[in-house]
A and B are shown apart, each in its own frame.
Chain A
Amino acid sequence: MNFFFEVLIGGLLSGVMYALVALGFVMIYKASGVFNFAQGAMVYLAALSVVGCMEKGAPLWLAVILAFAIMTLFGIATEKFVLRKLVNQPPIALFMATIGLAFFIEGLAPMIFGSEPRALDVGIVDEPIEYILENFNMVISRFDLVAALVASVLVATLALFFQYTRIGRALRAVADDHQAALSIGIPLQNIWAIVWGVAGFVALVAGMMWGARNGVQFALTFTALKALPVLILGGFTSVPGAIVGGLIIGASEKLAEIYIPPVMQNLFGGNFGGIEGWFPYVLALLFLLVRPEGLFGEKHIDRV
């Protein structure tokens, strides 16, 4: 039973890391209706910028600020040179454009900062917490706990930002209805630039967390693939959905990885590891059959 809880908590904590990436998707989808496939590449770019600046001799805080500046500039440039020109195109065209953008970043980032895998030290050690190890005999990583805390702070900040600031109100208005927002004088393009900036910030946080954990390397772009089932489970348009979805996916994925392969091995023989790769998708898919718009997604009403 102890082991079960250990896996469960480990899964929940890694789910928070998925949610961090998923948040970036939700931000952009909410405000501009763009399914931004480049979010994973942005995570990679952000982590690489931090590491790159630190290699040039900048201390961590300066590197983070510089990376944030890079991400913001990048977001604004994307809005100005790509998305603004694709207004009124079908969503699939925008989606494809973001895949193109992902390729662009995947080529650009290693060209500037170098492609070899590197470690990113943010000053948190990845070791079990002794107190829990002694009293409950469970291995819970300190790093995962810090990551979970960071994610909670980020979500709380974003929620407050959305709820109580002028810009946040404008963002919600744009998300509700582009035309109505425009007609009451909300500058749509500025708002989109801000959204891309915020998504860049979320990518930066995710990039630092993931980078510190697994090293800064090309595999960071695949975090986007981990975030997708989280998204459809939670609903594309919901910030809490991303968090809850992340927790569900993280926990179930780790539990499945521990408990399903032995069963299959008994049935068929052979090695059935690596369920993690597809299990979240199948889970999300089954879930969608019951609720097609995800847990917290807006119910879609079709009109002819």
Chain B
Amino acid sequence: MLYREAGQFKTTYAADQQLFPIRQDRIGVITLLLIAFIGVPLFASEYWFSAILIPFLIFFLAALGLNILTGYAGQLSLGSAAFMAVGAYAAYNFQLRIEGIPILISFLCGGLTAAAVGILFGLPSLRIKGFYLAVATLAAQFFIVWCLTKFPWLSNNSSSGVISTQQLIIFGHELKTPTEKYLLVLSIVVVLALAAKNLVRSSTGRAWMAVRDMDVAASVIGIRLMPTKLLAFAISSFYCGVAGALYAFCYLGSVEPDGFSLDMSFKILFMIIIGGVGSIMGSFLGAAFILLLPILLDVLLPFFAGLFGLPFSSATVSHIQILIFGALIMFFLIVEPHGLARLWQITKEKLRLWPFPH
């Protein structure tokens, strides 16, 4: 009744090609954005901003980057955290070494540097596929983190490569409070997410999907594999790089290379698998799920332990957390291999007919 596109006629090309063709979707997105930009800052506490919302948005961006590469272009990568590290360190160095460069420009440059590194490590994808490629991207993961630790120039000669990021100054105004940082991250993420949504339905996005489904067939129908794959690597790394820069500047403030570990790469991969491979919405839902789950377990486990009178040590609790995390991932893969995005899609289809399904 509410969610039905019947009667929404498109009379111009512009109307036909808009990003959200269904009116209810547009209203939904605008409402969500209004809540995010105005509603949340009014009500959320500082803890919510700095511990949940900011990392959630940043990981959503990183997951989006990986989803472009793995979900749309079909190239499995286990090195996304390394590209985040490149973005973070590049942005730091641009701020440090170029006098008076605006912070947004250095984020952009950080993303571009990550894109360049991404192209370099994407080159093997022209020859190798599947799991061989996945293992090859591990080379990027280990090599980049090692480089950032061992070349002191990259971290301005600080010990073991720890960097403390510069102040966030935008148009002469310094962002200090979590609310301001949240709004900055949110604006960047919204712009990039809409760009990604637009990109994946363009000819580039369709070429990626053709390569994903079968690259030999794609090259037979005239898609040039090399530019297509490398572009996927570049754009994916750009997203990861910007996410990394935001992670360093807006979330932690001080990062070390080892922080961008393989575990983090896996976390981002989990987000897109649980959320839904090949779906923008999926990255969003997956990031929320993977980030909120440990927090939820943190709260629930001691509660249940108290309920049953079991004396859990903190080590046991952390082990149970890992165990439940692993079990839930397997559970989700078995129950819904296409991820949360698929559940969302099913809901929408049900909504179309609701409340008269016949």
Please list the residues of chain A having a beta carbon within 8 angstroms of any beta carbon in chain B: 35, 82, 85-86, 89-93, 95-97, 99-108, 110-111, 115, 225, 228-229, 231-232, 236, 268, 270-272, 274-275, 277-278, 281-282, 284-285, 288-289, 292-294, 300, 302-304
Q: List 4 A-B pairs, minimum CB-CB distance, nearest first.
A: A107-B323, A103-B326, A100-B329, A104-B326
B91 within 8 A of A: no
Decide if A304 touches B214 in the complex (CB within 8 Å). yes
Closest to B221 in A: A304
**Which among B127, B136, B328, B337 is the interface contact of A232 at CB below 8 angstroms?**
B136
Tell me the total A-B contact number using a CB cutoff of 8 A.
Answer: 139
User: What are the residues of chain A within 8 A of B322 when measuring CB–CB?
Assistant: 103-104, 106-107
User: What are the residues of chain B within 8 A of A107 when measuring CB–CB?
Assistant: 319-326
Decide if A35 touches B131 in the complex (CB within 8 Å). yes
B contact face: mostly helix, strand, loop, or mixed: helix
Complex alpha-carbon distance, A106 and B325, angstroms = 11
Closest to B121 in A: A285
Decide if A278 touches B325 in the complex (CB within 8 Å). no
Decide if B323 touches A99 in the complex (CB within 8 Å). no
Given contacts A82-B334, A95-B131, contact A282 B329 (CB under 8 A): no
Of the listed residues B323, B327, B330, the one surrounded by the most CB atoms of chain A closer than 10 A to its CB is B330
Given contacts A103-B325, A285-B136, contact A304 B76 (CB under 8 A): no
Decide if B136 touches A281 in the complex (CB within 8 Å). yes
User: What are the residues of chain A within 8 A of B152 when measuring CB–CB?
Assistant: 270
How many residues of B sit at the interface, in one of the four size bands?
Answer: 35 or more
Given contacts A103-B325, A278-B142, contact A293 B132 (CB under 8 A): yes
Closest to B330 in A: A100
Give residues 201-223 of B contacting A (CB, 8 Å).
214-217, 220
User: What are the residues of chain A within 8 A of B142 when measuring CB–CB?
Assistant: 277-278, 281
Decide if A97 touches B330 in the complex (CB within 8 Å). yes
User: What are the residues of chain B within 8 A of A272 when measuring CB–CB?
Assistant: 150
Give residues 154-204 of B contacting A (CB, 8 Å).
none
User: What are the residues of chain B within 8 A of A300 when measuring CB–CB?
Assistant: 129
Decide if B316 touches A111 in the complex (CB within 8 Å). yes
Decide if B323 touches A104 in the complex (CB within 8 Å). yes
Closest to B325 in A: A103
Interface segment, one of B248-256, B265-273, B350-358: B265-273
Decide if B326 touches A100 in the complex (CB within 8 Å). yes
Decide if B329 touches A99 in the complex (CB within 8 Å). yes
Closest to A269 in B: B152
Closest to A82 in B: B330
Decide if B337 touches A281 in the complex (CB within 8 Å). no
Closest to A231 in B: B135
With A275-B146, A285-B124 already in contact, 13 other A-B pairs whose C-beta atoms are closer than 8 Å: A82-B334, A100-B327, A103-B326, A103-B329, A104-B322, A104-B323, A106-B322, A225-B262, A270-B151, A271-B150, A277-B142, A288-B132, A302-B215
Given contacts A96-B273, A270-B150, A292-B128, contact A104 B327 (CB under 8 A): yes
User: What are the residues of chain B within 8 A of A102 when measuring CB–CB?
Assistant: 326
A contact face: mostly helix, strand, loop, or mixed: helix
Closest to A105 in B: B326
Given contacts A281-B136, A284-B135, contact A274 B146 (CB under 8 A): yes
Decide if B216 touches A111 in the complex (CB within 8 Å). no
Closest to B71 in A: A92
Decide if B135 touches A108 in the complex (CB within 8 Å). no
Complex alpha-carbon distance, A229 and B142, angstroms = 12
Of the listed residues A101, A105, A272, A288, the one surrounded by the most CB atoms of chain B closer than 10 A to its CB is A288
**Which among B132, B270, B315, B320 is the interface contact of A96 at CB below 8 angstroms?**
B270
User: What are the residues of chain B within 8 A of A101 when measuring CB–CB?
Assistant: 326, 330
**Which among A92, A97, A111 is the interface contact of B329 at CB below 8 angstroms?**
A97
B138 within 8 A of A: yes
Minimum CB–CB distance for B282 against chain A, Å: 14
Decide if A304 touches B217 in the complex (CB within 8 Å). yes
Minimum CB–CB distance for A48 against chain B, Å: 12
Complex alpha-carbon distance, A270 and B217, angstroms = 50
Minimum CB–CB distance for B208 against chain A, Å: 16
Complex alpha-carbon distance, A163 and B327, angstroms = 36
User: What are the residues of chain A within 8 A of B316 when measuring CB–CB?
Assistant: 111
**Which among A85, A111, A293 is the interface contact of B334 at CB below 8 angstroms?**
A85
Closest to B329 in A: A100
Minimum CB–CB distance for B214 against chain A, Å: 7
Given contacts A91-B131, A278-B142, A289-B127, contact A111 B330 (CB under 8 A): no
Of the listed residues A107, A231, A285, the one surrounded by the most CB atoms of chain B closer than 10 A to its CB is A285
User: What are the residues of chain A within 8 A of B220 when measuring CB–CB?
Assistant: 304
User: What are the residues of chain A within 8 A of B323 when measuring CB–CB?
Assistant: 103-104, 106-108, 111
User: What are the residues of chain B within 8 A of A231 when measuring CB–CB?
Assistant: 135
User: What are the residues of chain B within 8 A of A303 when measuring CB–CB?
Assistant: 216
Complex alpha-carbon distance, A274 and B320, angstroms = 33
Encode B35-66 as 1/0 by CB contact (under 8 A) with A: 00000000000000000000000000000000
B295 within 8 A of A: no
Decide if A115 touches B124 in the complex (CB within 8 Å). no
Minimum CB–CB distance for B230 against chain A, Å: 15
Decide if B139 touches A278 in the complex (CB within 8 Å). yes
Minimum CB–CB distance for A193 against chain B, Å: 17
Of the listed residues B70, B124, B270, B334, the one surrounded by the most CB atoms of chain A closer than 10 A to its CB is B334
Between A and B, 21 residue pairs with Cβ closer than 8 Å are A91-B130, A92-B273, A96-B329, A100-B328, A102-B326, A107-B319, A107-B322, A111-B316, A270-B152, A274-B149, A277-B146, A278-B143, A281-B136, A281-B139, A281-B143, A282-B139, A284-B139, A285-B139, A288-B128, A289-B128, A302-B216
Closest to A96 in B: B273
User: What are the residues of chain B within 8 A of A108 when measuring CB–CB?
Assistant: 319, 323
Encode B302-337 as 1/0 by CB contact (under 8 A) with A: 000000000000011001111111111110011001
Decide if B277 touches A92 in the complex (CB within 8 Å). yes
Decide if A288 touches B124 in the complex (CB within 8 Å). yes
Complex alpha-carbon distance, A86 and B337, angstroms = 9
